[in-house]
Amino acid sequence: MEFKDQIIVVTGGTRGIGRAISLHFARQGGRVIAAYLKNDAAAAALVKEAEGLAGTVDVLKADVRTAEGAALLMDVAAKETGHIDVLVNNAGIIRDVYLAMMSDADWDEVVRGNLNPLFHCCKWGVRKMIGRRSGVIVNLASVSAILGTAGQTNYAASKGGTISFTRSLAREVGPLGIRVNAVAPGIIETEMTATMKREAIDNIVRMTSLGRVGTAAEVAEAVAFLASPRAAYITGQCLVVDGGIA
């Protein structure tokens, strides 16, 4: 019950890693607001799965790529208490293609789709934390930002930006009692990796020290640790959860 009655916002919180994060916090007593963009069926399934847990999961359809969507999300989350305790920025997209064949849209959609939600949600989320001089932000980056991955110049650039953004924001809001960290997953078993070619997955697995694909639950554990009092003296860091690729 580490997060009992805490208000926790998870963007991209109804599928894949985000879903695992939402459920993990709810199991620990958190009052989770999981934001999503399109998939109503996944959102409904998450709410049903969360029934009976120690905490709660509510879902909200909001386009956090925009200031209006992010502000709405934070206002809804803080409606009862006036604040939020934890913000997890997980929303993002991927459009893998080699640079020579990459379209302007492939670049723009990934960079804006991964960095704009980070900017807007942190801006409005911090405003719901500063009054109590307390709060935690965890941003989802990627091991691709650290090592580089062929075919992911757009994605790696956006996730590298996520890490730099995290470090800068941690310096800004640390004096206000707010901690900001990042988690950089490696290859994780989700709907996204399910569409990858087996050969590509095997090549990545061979790069790991542990010799396997990670699970979304393992990433959720890392996020929850950074959000917890156990990490009270950790800020501005990027925790790599990749089985040893990096």
Active site residues per annotation: 155
- Cα–Cα dist 18/1, whole Å: 20
- For tokens 């920025």, name the residue: 89
DSSP character at residue 190: S
Angle at 133 between CA 33 and CA 30, to 5 degrees: 25
Assess contact for 122 and 87: CB atoms under 8 A. yes
Assess contact for 94 and 16: CB atoms under 8 A. no
- Cα–Cα dist 166/140, whole Å: 10
Contacts of 219 (CB under 8 A, 6+ apart): 17, 20, 21, 140, 183, 185, 188, 241
- Cα–Cα dist 121/123, whole Å: 5
- Cα–Cα dist 21/222, whole Å: 9
- Cα–Cα dist 240/132, whole Å: 30
Strand ranges, E, within the chain: 7-11, 31-36, 56-61, 86-89, 135-140, 178-185, 188-189, 214-215, 238-241
